[in-house]
Amino acid sequence: MLRQVTATRYIEPLRSGGSVPGVVEADDLGTYVVKFTGSAQGRKALVAEVIVGELARALGLRFPELVLVHFDPELAAHEPHQEVRDLLDASPGVNLGMDYLPGAKDFTPDVAKSFPVDPLEAGRIVWLDALTVNVDRTVHSSNLMIWPTFGTAPPRLWLIDHGAALVFHHRWDTSDPGKSYDFRHHALGHYAPDVRAADAELAPKVTRELLRTVLAEVPDDWLAEEPGFTTPDQARGAYVDYLAARVQASPAWLPTDFPSRRELAAEEARRAARTQEGRPDWLKRVPDLHGKPAAEQDWSVHLG
């Protein structure tokens, strides 16, 4: 099971995402980025975080350790923003923490221009995203971090933020394990991801036994209200069945058509031109921020 810790200090919110996670210190002396049960995304986002994150770790991809964080909203009594306080007040008890990566940087398009990624590593990440239907790792929002693994070792890619994955669990009755999704704008698409080699390597590892082990990490309370299921274990079984069937259907959904950097740039230019069409002259001078990546974020907050 995931380790359990108790938050001892609330440091600050992170406003880079809609869920507004918070940085906390815990009684194990660790620092964690915590996603809260009271967020607008709800507990399904936390379920997706656990399933995809633990599956990534089991397959050898770099993903920070997850822990269950017992949180008392009184720790954040000093938080000045009411909307953040409302979120924290709605999240007493067990929440989900991800090991904080001090000094990690966002994998932005500008960084990607000079950061080397092996085609097989790119293929593994794309394959995992396609398997788990993670539609939120794009050129505009990579949910990838660059972080040195040990001391002077070169920086490596780390996966984060899978709350938008497993889109099928929002509509179990209409889900199709063989359905393909558009991954042409995947953050690693222009690295020539070798998804066929990744499929040959990873698909045999995603067994029903592994899936059952991963699902066992999800707390009962987060599955207890899953519509259509009478018990948490019944819900776990549905996730196992769906993902096992999706692995078997990989020839139907395996993404292989990725545009080059030049094609992406041309598509962006066409989109920008369409946006400008019909604008009054004064509005054409306003920068178009739609679809632009957020400024590079430094996770090295002041922890003193």
Residues 50-85 have pLDDT tens digits of 999 999 999 999 999 999 999 999 999 999 999 999
Q: Which of 81, 99, 117 is the last residue of a domain?
A: 99
- Residue where the block lists tokens 């907050």: 301
Q: Which of 99, 126, 146 is the last residue of a domain?
A: 99
**279: pLDDT strictly greater than 90:** no
Does a structural domain hold residue 297? Answer: no
**Residues with Cβ < 8 Å from 183, sequence gap 6 or more?**
126, 129, 130, 189, 255, 258
Q: What are phi and psi of 220, to 5 degrees?
A: -55, -40
Q: What is the pLDDT of residue 109?
A: 86
Does a structural domain hold residue 289? Answer: no
Helix H or strand E encompassing 13: strand 3-13
Does a structural domain hold residue 125? Answer: yes
**282: pLDDT strictly greater than 60:** no
- Residue where the block lists tokens 């950097």: 261
- Statement to judge: residues 161 and 27 lie in one domain: no
Does a structural domain hold residue 285? Answer: no
Q: What is the pLDDT of residue 212?
A: 98
**300: pLDDT strictly greater than 70:** no
Q: What is the pLDDT of residue 159?
A: 98
Q: What is the pLDDT of residue 19?
A: 83
- Statement to judge: residues 22 and 86 lie in one domain: yes
**265: pLDDT strictly greater than 60:** yes
- Statement to judge: residues 88 and 115 lie in one domain: no
Overall average pLDDT of the 231-258 stretch: 96
Does a structural domain hold residue 25? Answer: yes
**293: pLDDT strictly greater than 50:** no
- 244 is in which domain, residue-wise? 105-253
- Statement to judge: residues 137 and 188 lie in one domain: yes
Give the mean pLDDT of the chain: 88
- Statement to judge: residues 165 and 92 lie in one domain: no
Does a structural domain hold residue 65? Answer: yes
Separation of alpha carbons 223 and 9, rounded Å: 28
Q: Are 62 and 154 in contact (CB under 8 A)?
A: no
- Beta strands (DSSP E) in 63-222 are 66-71, 93-99, 105-106, 144-148, 155-159
Q: Which of 56, 76, 99 is the last residue of a domain?
A: 99
* Count of structural domains, the chain: 2
- Statement to judge: residues 75 and 142 lie in one domain: no
Does a structural domain hold residue 210? Answer: yes
Q: What is the pLDDT of residue 173?
A: 78
- Statement to judge: residues 215 and 171 lie in one domain: yes
**121: pLDDT strictly greater than 60:** yes
Q: How confident is the model at residue 278 (pLDDT cuts 50, 70, 90)?
A: low
- Statement to judge: residues 188 and 166 lie in one domain: yes
The conformational region for residue 12 under phi > 0 = left, psi -120 to 50 = alpha, else beta, is beta
**152: pLDDT strictly greater than 90:** no
**143: pLDDT strictly greater than 70:** yes
Does a structural domain hold residue 205? Answer: yes
Q: Are 128 and 202 in contact (CB under 8 A)?
A: yes
Q: Which of 39-48, 178-187, 243-252, 272-281 has the lowest mean pLDDT?
A: 272-281
- Statement to judge: residues 88 and 109 lie in one domain: no
- Statement to judge: residues 59 and 129 lie in one domain: no
- Statement to judge: residues 73 and 160 lie in one domain: no
- Statement to judge: residues 160 and 236 lie in one domain: yes
